[in-house]
Amino acid sequence: MFTTKWLKLFGIFSILALVLAACGGAPATTQPTAAPSQPTTAPAGGGKLEIFSWWTNGGEADGLNAMFDIYKQQNPNIDIVNATVAGGAGTNAKTVLKTRLQGGQPPDSWQVHAGKELTSYVDAGQMEPLTQFFKEQGFDKVMPPKLLEQITYNGEIWSVPVNIHRSNVLWYNIKIFQENGLTPPKTIDDFFTVAETLQAKGIIPLAVGGKDKFETPHLFESVLLAVFGPEDYAKLFQPGADWNDPRVRQAAEIARRMLEYSNSDRSSLGWADAAQLVLDGKAAMTIMGDWAHGYFISKGAKVGVDYGYAAAPGTEGVFMWLSDSFGLAKGAPNPAQAKAWLALCGSREGQDAFNPKKGSIPARTDADVSLYDEYLQYSIKAFGSEQLAPSVVHGAAAPEAYMTEYGNALNVFASDLDVDAVVEALQDAAKDLK
């Protein structure tokens, strides 16, 4: 009798554990319903190509589809498997991607921020070098040398940049500035003068979000750039960088004062909510990447009428870039098709199809400027003529382990405004610079 009791107990436990396991497995439903990748290359003229990205809505998806259309024209018999996972900045997508890579089932090509973010994939031996491919396609001639230098790691180029976004942009409400006789601030000091005037009028000077967890880190990279200048700024993210530099504290002090001029409900707003405050005339300015331009347009606002743009205070003449790119998986199931895709990604035709829809500028210097709107034309010009600096928050300047620590330091700072603590946390984080 005793043994049956044990068996019963064991049976109940087994069922319970299965139920628990089933519950635990629930997040798996968010995985893309990608067909299992084929180990062998399909014969020429047929087969498929699997692309992994997190572009699922609005202009992003339109741009991607425009590229798919061209690809299908060029390669009529190839099936494109678009393994997207929704979610801003790819947070969810990267989780799924990393799981697939660990499991040895890579997609042919996946979206990754160009620059240091992809070094973790390179170090893990999951990507093929593309330096030779760049030469064959002539990409090395049409992309700015400074950009190529910044996306080179271990002497090789690893991904094809599809677009360029600018991080250090100040967006402002034109009506508020006109009514108060203000001009967009060029320097940090200007910023505080303008902010003081606006504060006295009861307008929030600077709208800052926090819910997406990158807004304050984003603001701070512009401040760092303003305080350090492009050369010293870039050095901050090299291995062994000196974060004991007194200018770090100076930047933190500036950021603290900026945050004191911002809305107090930062942590409950996303970056788009902050941009909306500017559009609604509740706040005067926000410092955000130029995807805010896409957001404003989607809300029916007109550039030059409802909102204006300028370089973030103190960063004029410097273009802080970030770039989405596609790489080639090591052991890609369909390498030939993947290379055809990468050739399209880097081509003028592909970039001019993608970028006007996505609201970004091409990584090539020979694009057809007439396809782009007023802001993007300004941005193309700036990208071609200004100094370049890589964005840290958006993966261009530093590896992911560092980005996480840097981001957390600044998010805590956004809450407690403790300059000593953030300087110490940033010094700690520098250990993750590799």
Judged by the rule CB under 8 A, the positions of this chain that interact with another protein are 3-5, 7, 9-11, 14-15, 17-18, 20-21, 91, 94-95, 98, 101-102, 120-121, 123-126, 204, 210-213, 263-269, 282, 400-401, 403-405, 408, 411-416, 432
CB of 321 to another protein, least distance (A): 22
CB of 308 to another protein, least distance (A): 22
CA 260 to CA 255: how far, in whole Å?
Answer: 9
CB of 72 to another protein, least distance (A): 32
CB of 95 to another protein, least distance (A): 4
Query: 51: Cβ–Cβ under 8 A, 6 or more apart, which residues?
Result: 80, 81, 82, 83, 107, 108, 109, 110, 111, 326, 341
CB of 432 to another protein, least distance (A): 8
Our CB check for another protein shows the closer of 78 and 274 to be 274
CB of 1 to another protein, least distance (A): 8
CB of 362 to another protein, least distance (A): 29
Our CB check for another protein shows the closer of 102 and 365 to be 102
Our CB check for another protein shows the closer of 230 and 399 to be 399
CA 248 to CA 230: how far, in whole Å?
Answer: 14
Q: What is the dihedral of CA 265, 268, 271, 273, to 10 degrees?
A: -80
CA 281 to CA 172: how far, in whole Å?
Answer: 9
Our CB check for another protein shows the closer of 132 and 268 to be 268
